[in-house]
Structure 1
Amino acid sequence: MRVALMALCGFFFFTWMDLSIKHLLATYPLPQVIFFNCLFALLALSVWVIPRWTLLKTKRPGLHLTRAIMLLLVDALAFYSYGAAPLTEAYSLILTMPVFVAVFAMAINLERFDTGRFMLALIGFVGALIVLSPSFGVVNMALLPALASAMIEAAAFIMVAKYKDQEHPLAFAVYGLSLIVVVAGCWPGWSLFSFDLSALAISAVGGVCYTLATLLVLSAFQSGSPSTVSAMQYSQLVWGMLLAYAFWEETPASLALIGALLIATSGLLLMRREMSVRRARKRAPIAA
């Protein structure tokens, strides 16, 4: 129960960060919003990381650079969708990430192909198509970046998975945020001083929420079952729907909710299936 509550609180804070992004995008350009959000997130995270600076040591700078570039794309695409589409619908497509992980893993032979896994992935894709086009024929183009974000995040997850015991997750976060701050800070078309005090305050709150969310979710992963923590990510659909309605009276289309339910069901069942496979492997006798 403690692990589930930690994860639930972590994803709640992630949702608040996304709300701050969506609010600011109504007034400010995307690179400026990304810069200040990631700057404050990096500063807040540094308070915790600096006393533990050895976590940042690595022998794989190329891996961290590649992962940081992918994180930049993931954030830029996701944040764009937050500002241009209903938050719950954007969340629904971003949460197809576990479905893409399963498909990519089978495609490059990291996981054995089996019909059950393929059918669950197919259910997730049907849900994604419904969310993208709840009117059947009219695709919401503002949601395509959210789907692309999920695909890139899935590829990044697979890329770094084999190094999870050698590279600390916070190192990936720190290096990723650092690159985003540099790139967004150098991006033309916005002024460093055009953010007013209220926008700075909102961005700072969003950055602190990112840090709290990251630490809570990582602590939950270290203390309990990864499947339990991953399942809690789908709570963002609920948080996003409630908070988006509270702030903007924003409601997703009815069919989009059905699509979101299919995506969540597919992702949760895929996680449960993978955990069952891992348990079976651990119980299997080792050949002499």
Structure 2
Amino acid sequence: MFKGILLGFLAFAAFALSDAFVKLLHGSLPAYEAVFFGALLGLSALPFIKGEGDRWSEVLLAQRQGLWVVRAVASAIGTTAAVIAFTALPMAEAFALIFLMPIFVTILSVLVLKEHVGWRRWSAVVAGFLGVLVVLRPGFRELGAGHLAALVCGLAGAISMIALRLSGPHEKRITLYGAGVIGSTTLAGMLMLTNFSWPHLDQWLLLLGYGLLAALGAVLLMLATRRAPANHVAPTQYSQMLWAVLLGYVLFGDQLDWPMAVGIAIILGAGLFTFIREDKVTRWWKRTRVV
């Protein structure tokens, strides 16, 4: 159990460092180009995720192909939006808005899965959106495309999570992981056809860090969920906020004011509470192969 949770923390540290690498590009490459090369490098994790007896064709072919497509499209949109958000916003602010994903999952559970949601989880939804208002302070500061992109990333992640609930018990890890990397590579590759320029050497180095660290995070997360229940590993993703504050300060000179810190705390608290209630009420973690 301890090793699994520790691996979860290491996985999300790798993801946070990956996001820092893409932010270091400073938007010098189009977001879809960064996503394409990042996803292409993400394919390097497949040999480690492939289980004994798995077939390579299962990267593309799923038991529930429609849900595979939903996850592929949601992953492509979410990853592209994340790159835009991290390029335009301080890392902690971007993560705060992206971490609305559990709140969006609760709302989609009612709309799509027709689940009953009690007053406790609805209270967490309200608290999460109040936290967003505190962070964004509309009318008191300029809002831009980065804020919208972060919210889109959170919503896309929630859509992917709903599809995972429906397909997870029926699919293998290689299939679930394949949907993300193949979807991102395909959509970003299509967008690249309109305007493509080869990255320079320094950009290649940053892209390597972005893609390989994300692949490392995926492998560590898989190992974590083999050693500990997924519902114990999932909350470790909130450690990314600590990394965001640290990396944002050290690498980019980001500063947190008090209202933003309070808003981030509200969003994180609402998200963690939602995770706990989801586990107690739906027990869907026990039916799903991966986080």
Across the aligned residues of Structure 1 and Structure 2, the Cα RMSD in angstroms comes to: 2.2
1:93-112 → structure 2 map (5 Å cutoff): 93-108=97-112, 110-112=114-116
Q: Report the CA distance between 1:122 and its aligned residue.
A: 0.9
Summarize the alignment of residues 118-133 of structure 1 with structure 2, pairs less than 5 Å apart: 118-133=122-137
- What SS is found at the alignment partner of 1:27? coil
Residue 240 (str. 1) matches residue 244 (str. 2): yes
The residue number in structure 1 matching 2:277 is 273
**Deviation of 1:130 (Å):** 1.6
CA contact (8 A) 2:106 2:117 kept: no
> Does the CA contact (< 8 Å) of 2:70 and 2:163 recur in 1?
no
Mapped contact 1:87–1:241 kept (Cα < 8 A): yes
Q: What TM-score, normalized by structure 1, do the two folds share?
A: 0.88
Cα distance between partner residues in 2 of 1:47 and 1:196: 29
- 2:12 paired with 1:48: no
The 1:101–1:139 alpha-carbon spacing in structure 2 relative to 1, beyond 3 Å, is farther
SS in 2 for 1:232: helix
Residue number in structure 1 paired with 2:214: 210
Q: Per-residue CA shift, 1:174-194, capped at 9, x if unaligned?
A: 233123223322322221x2x
Q: Which residue number corresponds to residue 28 of structure 2?
A: 27
CA distance in 2, matches of 1:119, 1:179: 34
Q: Deviations over 1:199-258 (max 9, x none)?
A: 212212221111111121122223223332121111111101101111111123321111
CA separation in 1, counterparts of 2:252 and 2:41? 25
Residue number in structure 2 paired with 1:252: 256
Q: Structure 2: how far apart are the matches of 1:233 and 1:138?
A: 29
Structure 1 segments unaligned to the other structure (5+ residues): 283-288
Task: Give 4+ residue runs of structure 1 displaced > 6 Å after superposition.
Answer: none
CA distance in 2, matches of 1:45, 1:109: 32
Give the direction of change, closer, same or farther, for the CA distance of 1:102–1:179 in structure 2 (3 Å limit). Answer: closer
Q: Mind listing any 5+ residue stretches in structure 2 that lack a counterpart?
A: 287-291
Q: In the alignment, is the contact (CA less than 8 A) between 1:130 and 1:136 conserved in 2?
A: no
Secondary structure of the residue that 1:172 maps to in structure 2? helix
Structure 2 counterpart of 1:74, which letter?
A: G
- Residue 152 to residue 114, structure 1, CA distance change in 2 (3 Å): same
Aligned to 2:75: 71
User: For structure 1, which segment, 138-147 or 253-262, has the greater mean C-alpha deviation from structure 2 after superposition?
Assistant: 138-147
Larger radius of gyration: 1
Question: Is 1:140 the equivalent of 2:146?
Answer: no
**8 Å Cα contact 1:95/1:264 also seen in 2:** yes
SS of the counterpart of 1:163?
helix
Please report the TM-score for the alignment, with normalisation by the length of structure 2: 0.87
How far 1:136 sits from its partner (Å)? 5.0
> What corresponds to 1:17 in structure 2?
18
Task: Measure how far apart 1:29 and its partner are.
Answer: 1.9
The residue identity in structure 2 corresponding to 1:259 is: G
| Deviation of the 1:271 alpha carbon | 1.7
Cα 1:80–1:168 shift into 2, 3 Å: same
Which deviations, in whole Å up to 9, do the C-alpha atoms of 1:1-54 show, x marking residues without a partner? 222211100000000111111111432222221121111112x12332567542
* Aligned-partner Cα distance in 2 for 1:221–1:111: 26
Counterpart of 1:183 (choices 176, 184, 187) is: 187
Q: What's the counterpart of residue 5 of structure 1? A: 6
Q: 1:113 to 1:179 in 2, by over 3 A?
A: closer
Contact 1:68–1:172 (CA under 8 A) maintained in structure 2: no
Note the C-alpha offset of 1:88. 0.5
Structure 1 residues 112 and 34: alpha-carbon distance in aligned structure 2, compared to 1, 3 A threshold: same
Distance (whole Å) between structure 1 residues aligned to residue 49 and residue 273 of structure 2: 35
CA distance in 2 between partners of 1:182 and 1:150 (Å): 21
Structure 1 letter corresponding to 2:279: M
